[in-house]
Amino acid sequence: MFKKENRLVPGISFSNSHLISTPQFLLKEKKNGLEINRFGIVVSKKIDKRAVIRNRIKRFFRTTLLNLEKKINVGHDILLIVKKGIIGKTKEENLLMVRSALEKAGLIKK
């Protein structure tokens, strides 16, 4: 679970954000002017009707982002919007996609 200060609050606009698209998810990133990173994860019912599966996907992304948090440059809002391509992929494949998307966005060094 993210600390309260590291969660995105509702109402934040990502209209001027940097967008990275992968088959598994969309990553939207913008600077927030703070000394912390804030994260948000969106898993729609279109992905799977079962809450168990949606929560499992959210837990995976949360743990991945928490593990990479020390490497991510501070001062960014990051929103992950999960796509249907996530179903059927292994955790290792998804982890590599998250890492490469963060590298493309310039949030972590290679």
Is pLDDT of 109 > 80?
Answer: no
pLDDT in tens, 48-70: 999 999 999 999 999 999 898 88
Calpha distance 98→81 (Å, rounded): 12
Residue 6 is given by DSSP the state G
Contact between residue 72 and residue 98 where contact means Cβ atoms under 8 Å apart: no
Domain boundaries, the chain: 4-97
Helices (H), 1-110: 51-68, 91-104
- Structurally, at CATH architecture level, domain 4-97 sits in 2-Layer Sandwich (3.30)
Contact between residue 32 and residue 76 where contact means Cβ atoms under 8 Å apart: yes
pLDDT in tens, 1-48: 888 888 898 888 888 888 999 999 999 999 988 899 999 999 999 999
pLDDT band of 87, cuts 50, 70, 90: confident
Q: What is the pLDDT of residue 110?
A: 62
